[in-house]
Structure 1
Amino acid sequence: MANFYEQLAVMESLQDVANLDQFARIPEDWWVVITDIRGSTQAIAAGQYKAVNLIAASSIVAVLNGARNVGIPFVFGGDGASLVIPAQLLEPTRQALVATQAMAKQAFQLELRVALVPVAVVHQSPYELRVAKLRVSPEYTQAIFMGGGLKFAEALIKDPRTAPQFAVQWPQGSKPQADYSGLECRWQDIRSPYGETLSLLISATSPNERQSTQIYQEVLEQIKRIYGTGSQRRPVSLQSLHLTCQDRQLQLETLVHQGRQPLLVQAWYRLRLKLENLLGWCLMRLHLGV
């Protein structure tokens, strides 16, 4: 059932999350992938929030590139990520995760925890794992998970008693590889057009799933009433995107792709990024290719 996620119907509105029939139970032979940066709170307080975000995104990109044409549901958590993969992708995913773990340590001096938890283990608990697809734009759909299974899997890898059972290991002496193609970090910081950016993390605590979905729906209605529709409250727009040519901002992407290379190679990579950004700026100003 490798094409399980690809075959799911797509929800066209976030309000549809209240319809539990839209969520499909993930097959028993799939695996939950959890990545998490240890000490992320301290790293963010020290000004490394972009590095923390980029490492978490790198773990997603590495797994997706290893999956090739297989649809993989995932969520980005800022200091980590959660994905669900079919059994056939277990080994390429394991290699991608360990390579990303090594990259995080070498390039950013940050520790990335990586773990693989069988979906069957999740379903043996009081929780389950179901997923739906939401259309965010004409080109992109986002996975939405239900059932508490992801939180349960994350708790397993953070508990010292169970973490060793699920931690990803790789034979010593081997050199795992990961493909980060498509991962870019080339934009200037985006300022909110309203003077502030507000992020809300909401978790319904009702043991009744239908009550929880009703709570989420009511919260979404209140957000819409206060802040407007999605297009009105979204801080990112085409007009707010500006490419950067600053070495400091381009260094993060350079470390992901070329962190193991000599400094001269890294400098050449940053120069190439500047040239590509300059070309991109010209094309956007002339409204060509966009």
Structure 2
Amino acid sequence: MAISTNPNFFSDLSLQTISISDLVGNKSLFSKVPEDWHAIVADINNSTEAIGKGNHDQVNLVATGSVIAILNLAYSKNISIPFFFGGDGATMLIPSELLGAAMTALNQHRINTLVNFGFELKIGSLSLKEIHDNKVSLDIAKVKISDVLTIPIVLGEGLQYAEKHIKANFNDANNNTLKIPELLNLEGMECKWDKINPPETHQEVVSLIVVACKGEEPSEIFSKVLKNIDTIYGSLDSRKPISVKRLKLKASLRKMNDEMRTKLGKYDGFYLLKNWFTMTFGKYYLKNTASGKNYLQKLVELTDTLTIDGRINTVITGTPQQRKSLSSCLPHFLKISLGCIDFTGMNFENGCCKPIFEDVFKKIKESFW
């Protein structure tokens, strides 16, 4: 087993307390990830097709399990790691000493996923040395969002490079021999919440992805994009789609069965019965006890609606007028001062961004856990 020269790299990073828009605009506050760390990727193949068949919850559950498996492993070794959740997959950065156990745990999760849901979970790893050797950058910082939430921020295309490389080179046959169920620990994973709609009938939820064009410097671009979002929509808390009053337990048999099969890889009647009683009592506990209400409040505070993994990925609650303000101001300052940028939700015509928010992001009513 290889030993990292700095397994505590992420926990030792300085915790930034400035705004995220200021942080991404200051590259001196970012650190290069050590070459003996590894990018771990788990991604559900053909997830769009699965979601189209009504399996959105299962896709999210499997992706969440990928993160929980590695976090629990890292926690058992007292190692802090950054992760980036993408809905249908996840990317994590880990030191060398976790690599073997991490891939074995993910492989067991991959097998369970295929057996119980029929999804192909592509998994793999790529060392930071290989990423750096291919002249791809990956710089990281961590920032305090609140008293209970700290998130990693990445600049550079390293994670996207690793994801593309791993998905393109995934070979199912290479993973069939490593089956050690005991290494897969998904304790702490829950899937008990109902879907959350936009807060009010006059509001909407906008999903925005921003990617700097190849050869462009993302730091200044991202900083200005985030400043405009802050100006138009307000703080992260004020534009978050989730609130305590909208969190509702949904004790459906299907949800509990899916959670059971993801965590255990099989049917267990006692587990199902225990969870049913827990859910039944949980509704009373959350609504009528101080500790239950405090749990809900912390859950909302821990909800992360902004991910920067070399791209900006964010979900925003606001009004149609705010969306129109955002779609009109972004192309203006980009064209004048920043040049090239790609938007999911925007078109390019003759080298300029053309907003198409109205056509693409009407009222996105996906579920948030």
Give the TM-score of the pair, scaled to structure 1: 0.89
1:90 aligns with: 99
- Cα distance between partner residues in 1 of 2:243 and 2:133: 43
1:129 aligns with: 138
Q: Counterpart of 1:77 in structure 2: which amino acid?
A: G
Would the aligned equivalents of 2:37 and 2:94 in 1 still touch at CA under 8 Å?
Answer: yes
- Cα distance between partner residues in 2 of 1:172 and 1:216: 41
Would the aligned equivalents of 1:258 and 1:265 in 2 still touch at CA under 8 Å?
Answer: no
Aligned to 1:36, what secondary structure does the other structure show?
strand
User: Do structure 1's residue 214 and structure 2's residue 195 form an aligned pair?
Assistant: no
Give the TM-score of the pair, scaled to structure 2: 0.71
Would the aligned equivalents of 1:157 and 1:167 in 2 still touch at CA under 8 Å?
Answer: no
Q: Counterpart of 1:233 in structure 2: which amino acid?
A: R
2:209 aligns with: 201
- Cα distance between partner residues in 2 of 1:144 and 1:173: 33
Q: Percent identity?
A: 31
Q: Counterpart of 1:86 in structure 2: which amino acid?
A: P
| Distance 1:172-1:144 versus aligned 2 partners, 3 A rule | closer
| Distance 1:163-1:28 versus aligned 2 partners, 3 A rule | same
Deviation at 1:197, TM superposition (A): 1.5
- Cα distance between partner residues in 1 of 2:145 and 2:277: 32
In structure 2, runs of 5+ residues without a counterpart are 1-5, 295-369
Deviation at 1:49, TM superposition (A): 1.3
Q: 2:289 aligns with which of 277, 286, 290?
A: 286
Give runs of aligned pairs for residues 5-24 of structure 1, distance below 5 A.
5-12=10-17, 13-15=19-21, 16-24=23-31
Number of corresponding residues? 282
1:234 aligns with: 240
User: Do structure 1's residue 57 and structure 2's residue 64 form an aligned pair?
Assistant: yes
Would the aligned equivalents of 1:74 and 1:82 in 2 still touch at CA under 8 Å?
Answer: yes
- Cα distance between partner residues in 2 of 1:82 and 1:167: 22
| Distance 1:173-1:29 versus aligned 2 partners, 3 A rule | closer
In structure 1, runs of 5+ residues without a counterpart are none
Would the aligned equivalents of 2:101 and 2:183 in 1 still touch at CA under 8 Å?
Answer: no
Aligned to 1:100, what secondary structure does the other structure show?
helix
Q: Counterpart of 1:183 in structure 2: which amino acid?
A: M
Q: 2:276 aligns with which of 260, 265, 271?
A: 271
User: Do structure 1's residue 251 and structure 2's residue 257 form an aligned pair?
Assistant: yes
| Distance 1:173-1:104 versus aligned 2 partners, 3 A rule | closer
Give runs of aligned pairs for residues 94-173 of structure 1, distance below 5 A.
94-159=103-168, 162-164=169-171, 169-171=175-177
Aligned to 1:199, what secondary structure does the other structure show?
strand
- Cα distance between partner residues in 2 of 1:254 and 1:28: 37
Q: 2:41 aligns with which of 34, 47, 68?
A: 34
| Distance 1:10-1:241 versus aligned 2 partners, 3 A rule | same
- Aligned-residue Cα RMSD (Å) equals 2.2
Deviation at 1:260, TM superposition (A): 0.9
Would the aligned equivalents of 1:190 and 1:236 in 2 still touch at CA under 8 Å?
Answer: yes
- Cα distance between partner residues in 1 of 2:174 and 2:90: 15
- Cα distance between partner residues in 2 of 1:10 and 1:169: 37
- Cα distance between partner residues in 2 of 1:172 and 1:105: 15
User: Do structure 1's residue 78 and structure 2's residue 84 form an aligned pair?
Assistant: no
- Cα distance between partner residues in 1 of 2:264 and 2:42: 22
Aligned to 1:182, what secondary structure does the other structure show?
coil
- Cα distance between partner residues in 2 of 1:260 and 1:288: 33
Deviation at 1:31, TM superposition (A): 0.9
Q: Counterpart of 1:93 in structure 2: which amino acid?
A: A
**Farther off after superposition, 35-44 or 217-226:** 217-226
Deviation at 1:67, TM superposition (A): 1.2
Aligned to 2:12, what secondary structure does the other structure show?
coil
Would the aligned equivalents of 2:104 and 2:180 in 1 still touch at CA under 8 Å?
Answer: no
Aligned to 2:10, what secondary structure does the other structure show?
coil
Aligned to 2:144, what secondary structure does the other structure show?
strand
**Farther off after superposition, 240-249 or 74-83:** 240-249
